[in-house]
């Protein structure tokens, strides 16, 4: 379904980044490349701009957004950096880690960004184009994944346009995202305790896993290609689009070499292909539950859960 905007495709160069900064300054929406997935950015200090994110995505307003900044100094102005948060930031930023911290009361973020919680999610992304954009603007960027709420996350500009063409002002096309899975989200409590709210590209072995309470957006049904998905499939029916791994080739293979990182980077691409195919159902061969395989299987289980 097309919306009322003409969505510009921008180049990932100086001119494109300057145009994106101009649109964002005026309160517009720009889909931006990051090392994880494409994000749908708006200035995080504007109620109007942030409201447009929720509208374009059809996102429930109880689901808060991640605040993207370019520097640790800027990040510190939004959340309480207890020593464990400082340690994780030093170790993994810029990169695919989001920290959920106690928010500082005097920050000027639009209230919809945190959806009424007293915590805030913050990330310094590593992608060069996103970094250049952040240094071109003097406000933080709120950015969820650039897809309609509940659907497959985008790892290319074409994926973004599949669900948001005509609903946003622009997309910066910088090719495919390297990691291909959303950032690892870790909540750091006042006492230094950490809870992994969403598994992702960064593995935090010692941290515990907290299933629901504080990641309101981690709904059971998510990343949906709009057709039934069967997991751990060992025999494939004729009417099934098969997502393969290793020597189980399939119609789209996550990694014929059995490389888990490559599999993560190709997951959403294969789900988009499966969604587009004529086949009415999807089957996915077993994916090892090791390392980033845990994040892959987390996304697949949600994709396989029917909505409602
Ligand atoms: O890699 C990523 O994280 C991408 C790129 C664009 O940065 N962004 C992304 O955003 O995946 P989104 O909105 O699709 O997922 C953000 C998740 C949601 O599940 C949301 O509920 C959770 O972060 N979240 C945001 N603020 C939170 C908070 N204060 N406490 C707990 N969870 C929070
Ligand atoms: Mg998302």
| pLDDT score for 3 | 72
Residue 3 lies in a domain: no
Atom of ligand 1 nearest to the CA of 39: 6
Same domain, 257 and 180: no
| 11 has pLDDT over 90 | yes
CB 291 within 8 A of CB 202: no
Report the first-to-last Cα separation within the chain, whole angstroms: 22
Residues 21 and 134 in one domain: yes
Question: Do residues 180 and 39 both lie within one domain?
Answer: yes
| 103 and 181 co-located in one domain | yes
Closest ligand 1 atom to Cα of 153: 14
- Cα 290 to ligand 2 centre (Å): 23
- Residue 39, ligand 1, Cβ within 6 A: yes
**Between 305 and 99, the higher pLDDT residue:** 99
* Residue 205 confidence (pLDDT): 64
How close is the Cα of 237 to the center of ligand 2, in Å? 30
> Is residue 194 located within the same domain as residue 233?
no
Residues 78 and 165 in one domain: yes
Domain boundary pick from 198, 221, 237:
198
172, 57: one domain: yes
List the CATH number of the domain containing 143: 3.90.870.10
Write the pLDDT tens digit of every residue in 175-234.
Answer: 999 999 999 999 999 899 999 999 999 988 644 454 444 455 566 778 889 999 999 999
Residue 206 in domain: no
Note the pLDDT tens digit of each residue in 101-155: 999 977 789 999 999 999 999 999 999 999 999 999 999 999 999 999 999 999 9
Sheet holding 281-284, edge to edge: 229-230, 281-284, 240-244, 252-253
**pTM for the structure as a whole:** 0.94
* DSSP 8-class letter at 237: -
Domain count, the chain: 2
Nearest C-alpha to atom 10 of ligand 1 is from which residue?
Answer: 144
Q: pLDDT digits over 45-100, tens only?
A: 999 999 999 999 999 999 999 999 999 999 999 999 999 999 999 999 999 999 99
- Answer with the one of 180, 198, 216 that is the final residue of a domain: 198
How far is the centre of ligand 2, averaged over its atoms, from the C-alpha of 3 (Å)? 20
What percent of the chain stands above pLDDT 70?
Answer: 94
Backbone angles phi, psi at 25, to 5 degrees: -55, -40
Counting ligands in written order, which one lies closest to the CA of residue 101?
1
Q: Which is the closest atom of ligand 1 to the Cα of 38? A: 6
- Asked, for residue 20, whether it belongs to a domain, the answer is yes
Residues 149 and 236 in one domain: no
Residue 293's domain comprises 229-304
Nearest atom in ligand 1 to 32's CA = 6
| In a shared domain, residues 169 and 28 | yes
- The mean pLDDT of 21-44, rounded to a whole number, is 98
Residue 212 within any structural domain of the chain: no
What is the number of residues in the chain? 308
Identify whether 222 is part of a domain.
Answer: no
- Residue 221 in domain: no
For ligand 1, the distance from its centroid to the CA atom of residue 144, given in whole angstroms, is 6
């Amino acid at each position: 379904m097309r919306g009322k905007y003409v969505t510009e495709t921008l180049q990932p160069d100086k001119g494109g980044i300057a145009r994106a900064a101009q649109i964002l300054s005026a309160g517009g929406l720009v889909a931006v490349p990051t090392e994880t997935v494409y994000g749908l950015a708006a200035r995080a200090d504007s109620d109007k701009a942030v409201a447009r994110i929720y509208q374009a995505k059809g996102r429930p307003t109880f689901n808060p957004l991640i605040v993207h900044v370019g520097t640790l100094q800027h990040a510190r102005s939004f959340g309480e950096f207890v020593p464990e948060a400082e340690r994780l930031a030093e170790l993994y930023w810029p990169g695919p880690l989001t920290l959920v911290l106690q928010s500082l009361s005097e920050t000027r973020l639009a209230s919809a960004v945190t959806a009424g919680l007293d915590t805030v999610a913050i990330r310094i992304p590593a992608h060069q184009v996103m970094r250049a954009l952040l240094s071109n603007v003097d406000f933080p960027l709120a950015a969820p994944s650039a897809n309609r709420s509940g659907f497959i996350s985008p790892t290319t500009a074409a994926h973004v346009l599949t669900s948001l063409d005509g609903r946003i002002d622009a997309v910066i096309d910088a090719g495919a995202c390297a990691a291909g899975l959303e950032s690892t989200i870790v909540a750091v409590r006042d006492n230094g305790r950490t809870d992994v709210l969403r598994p992702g590209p960064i593995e935090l072995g010692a941290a515990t896993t907290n299933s629901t309470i504080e990641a309101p957006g981690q709904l059971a049904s998510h990343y949906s290609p709009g057709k039934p998905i069967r997991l751990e499939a060992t025999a494939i029916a004729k009417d099934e689009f098969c997502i393969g791994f290793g020597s189980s080739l399939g119609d789209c293979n996550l990694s014929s070499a059995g490389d888990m990182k490559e599999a993560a980077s190709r997951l959403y691409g294969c789900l988009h292909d499966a969604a587009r195919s004529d086949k009415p159902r999807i089957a996915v061969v077993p994916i090892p539950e090791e390392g980033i395989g845990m994040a892959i299987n987390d996304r697949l289980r949600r994709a396989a859960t029917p909505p409602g």
